[in-house]
Structure 1
Amino acid sequence: MTASTREFFDRYHACWEARDPDRIVALHTEDSLFHLHLGQPPVQGREAIHKAAAEMFSLVPDLTFTLVSLRTGADFWVTRFTLTGTAATGARVDVDLADFVLVEGGAVKEKHSYVDGVAMQAVLSTGEVAR
């Protein structure tokens, strides 16, 4: 584990924990790619990433991230999280998430998020509790 990548992960993760799209995109490259692998295409660029993050937080306003595991290298990190919160539908969210993040020049170049799609879609569309 490299100290600089770990420190950057900590700063970046704090932005997600704060649910702050402005701070999140400030740590992305101008042409960064964000792909939430949940059936929609990736978004690219800070403006599109800002919009995607803001929409996510509007769907689950109290979204929290519990870190399960973290592995870092010189220019990447891989994490497992448990996401919890209450969806705008009122349903309880409790799903697994894995992130693969590529870092370039001290900023996020690519972020691939793999979520338990079946569980998340059930919560967001029907209001049923996921897990």
Structure 2
Amino acid sequence: METDMAFPEKTGLADPALGTEALFARYHVGWETRDPDRIVSLHSEDTTYWLHDGSAPVHGREALRQYCIGVFARYPFSFELRRSLFGARHWVLEWVMVLPLKDTAGQPFTARVEMLDVVDVNDAGEVTRKDVYMNGAQSQAAFARAGIATGPQ
């Protein structure tokens, strides 16, 4: 995957050199490096991001940027990529969130939660919608063990 932190110029998916796999590679760098500006630079202005954990969807670039800042400050998670499927205007990513936590007694443990992303892309090569689904049983068990409330606050 790409590791250069410079934001490549958007050329749109009409450019055969840029497909959804290449867009995903650039996009994933933003998540790996915890860079909200890079992430939102690859989203459309009217984007929707929805973590399906009972929370409301996030609408628009600036709201997504603020959401990412909060998530990155609260959760120092990393990724294990499992499987990716790419289409002309979408990708589906199966991954595992790896999250170092402490239980309610203060003992460290590592939570592992299976995740699934479904991402829509427009003709300009921008992410228009990202739906993130988490394994409910795994996330509830991990967050309960850590004494962390999830979903709408």
Q: TM-score, normalised by structure 2?
A: 0.74
Shift of 1:91: 4.6
Q: Report percent identity of matched pairs.
A: 37
Residues 80-89 or 102-111, more deviating: 80-89
Unaligned ranges ≥5, structure 2: 1-15, 148-153
**How many aligned residue pairs are there?**
126
Does residue 119 of structure 2 align to residue 114 of structure 1?
Answer: no
Shift of 1:9: 0.5
After superposition, give the CA deviation of every residue in 1:37-86 in whole Å (9 maximum; x if it has no partner).
0111101001111122222222212x111110000111000010011021
Does residue 28 of structure 2 align to residue 13 of structure 1?
Answer: yes
Q: TM-score, normalised by structure 1?
A: 0.86
Does residue 50 of structure 2 align to residue 35 of structure 1?
Answer: yes
Aligned 8 A contact 1:60 1:88 in 2: no
Counterparts of 1:35-114 in structure 2 under 5 Å?
35-61=50-76, 63-87=77-101, 91-104=109-122, 105-114=124-133
RMSD over equivalenced CA pairs, Å: 2.0
More helix by share: 1
Shift of 1:94: 0.7
Residues 113-122 or 16-25, more deviating: 113-122
Distance 2:102 2:71 in 1: 10
Distance 1:96 1:67 in 2: 10
Aligned 8 A contact 1:59 1:124 in 2: no
After superposition, give the CA deviation of every residue in 1:6-27 in whole Å (9 maximum; x if it has no partner).
0001000111011111111111
* AA at the equivalent of 1:7: A
- Stretches of 4+ moved more than 2 A in 1? 87-93, 117-126
Larger radius of gyration: 2
**SS of structure 1 residue aligned to 2:67:** helix
Distance 1:117 1:53 in 2: 21
CA 1:13–1:86: 2 relative to 1, 3 Å: same
Shift of 1:120: 2.2
